[in-house]
């Protein structure tokens, strides 16, 4: 057999094998692709923000009804919003704001200075919040980290007490792998440490459904810690156990200028009263 004939035969066999090899590669890739499709994407650590899980877990309803009760508009912001147009918000009637300062003991908001000082400079009463990750470090460690990185308080009439944002875990199990009693202990550890550092009771931000699931609907904090409740609907609905009223209500994540808008349960003088302690 000539060399030319041998080479032609080999090329024919390779061409015939091509479709078979492609089909085999596709079959091998299918389980990997299926597994990737079934695995929910986990956000980058540090990217969590106030109300991140509310719409997905509790849904979205209408906007608040006009009750004619005195309420004061506010917003909350995090790093993903970058530099905020505070003048536009002030001119639209927003009078108070919270900015994310920290998360866990591993993250600080790179936009915090512009957000925290910018809201103050246009006349707003402002404060800072901490996104809790109870599965990474203790409540005391996170409270100290928060106070050391923007979460402090001063009685200047323009600084609100810090907020503990405790809600669904965007990085894993919704209750951070903790039992209800362990979660309550973690929150108490944070709250006690924050008060010892600042002299103020930390505001607790949560959603009623999360609180029921992950703390067993604990009533341990209602008499001491102001409640900031999340519910995107026309009414605030049921509150977590222990609280007879809310101090703040996050009612939407799709508001004007900045998405997260809130109602303070009272006129501006009540916002000032909370700031002054």
The span from the CA of 262 to the CA of 194, in Å, is 24
Instruction: Map residue 90 onto helix, strand or coil.
Output: helix
Q: Judge whether 167 counts as a catalytic residue.
A: yes
Q: Please list, in sequence order, all residues whose beta carbon lies within 8 angstroms of the beta carbon of residue 267, skipping any fewer than 6 positions away.
A: 70, 71, 72
Q: Please list, in sequence order, all residues whose beta carbon lies within 8 angstroms of the beta carbon of residue 277, skipping any fewer than 6 positions away.
A: 153, 155, 161, 199, 200
**Annotated active-site residue in 58, 167, 201, 260:** 167
Q: Please list, in sequence order, all residues whose beta carbon lies within 8 angstroms of the beta carbon of residue 214, skipping any fewer than 6 positions away.
A: 174, 175, 176, 178, 180, 183
Q: Judge whether 260 counts as a catalytic residue.
A: no
Q: Judge whether 103 counts as a catalytic residue.
A: no
Tokens of 98: 């919270």
Using left for φ > 0, alpha for ψ between -120 and 50, and beta otherwise, residue 190 falls in alpha
**Annotated active-site residue in 73, 103, 135, 165:** 165
Tokens of 47: 């990217």
**Annotated active-site residue in 76, 103, 201, 260:** 76
Residues annotated as catalytic are 76, 165, 167
């Amino acid at each position: 057999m000539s060399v030319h004939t041998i080479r032609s035969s080999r090329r024919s066999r390779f061409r015939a094998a091509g479709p078979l090899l492609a089909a085999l590669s596709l079959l091998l890739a299918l389980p990997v692709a299926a597994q990737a499709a079934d695995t929910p994407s986990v956000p980058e650590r540090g990217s969590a923000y106030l109300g991140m899980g509310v719409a997905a877990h509790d849904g979205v309803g209408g906007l608040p009804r006009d009750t004619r009760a005195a309420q004061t508009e506010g917003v909350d912001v995090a790093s993903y919003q970058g530099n905020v147009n505070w003048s536009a918000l002030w001119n639209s009637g927003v009078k108070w704001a919270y900015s994310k300062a920290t998360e866990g003991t591993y993250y600080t908001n790179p936009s915090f200075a512009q957000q925290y000082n910018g809201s103050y400079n246009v006349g707003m009463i402002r404060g800072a919040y901490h996104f809790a990750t109870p599965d990474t470090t203790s409540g005391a460690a996170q409270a100290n980290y928060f106070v050391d990185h923007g979460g402090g308080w001063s009685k200047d009439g323009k600084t609100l007490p810090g907020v503990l944002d405790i809600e669904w875990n965007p990085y894993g199990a919704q209750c951070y792998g903790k039992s209800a009693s362990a979660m309550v202990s973690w929150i108490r550890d944070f709250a006690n440490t924050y008060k010892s550092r600042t002299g103020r009771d930390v505001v607790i931000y949560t959603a009623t459904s999360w609180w029921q699931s992950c703390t067993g609907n604990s009533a341990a904090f209602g008499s001491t810690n102001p409640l900031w409740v999340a519910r995107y609907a026309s009414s605030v609905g049921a509150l977590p156990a222990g609280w007879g009223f809310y101090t703040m209500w996050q009612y939407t994540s799709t508001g004007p200028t900045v998405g997260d808008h809130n109602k303070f349960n009272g006129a501006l003088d009540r916002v000032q009263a909370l700031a002054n302690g």
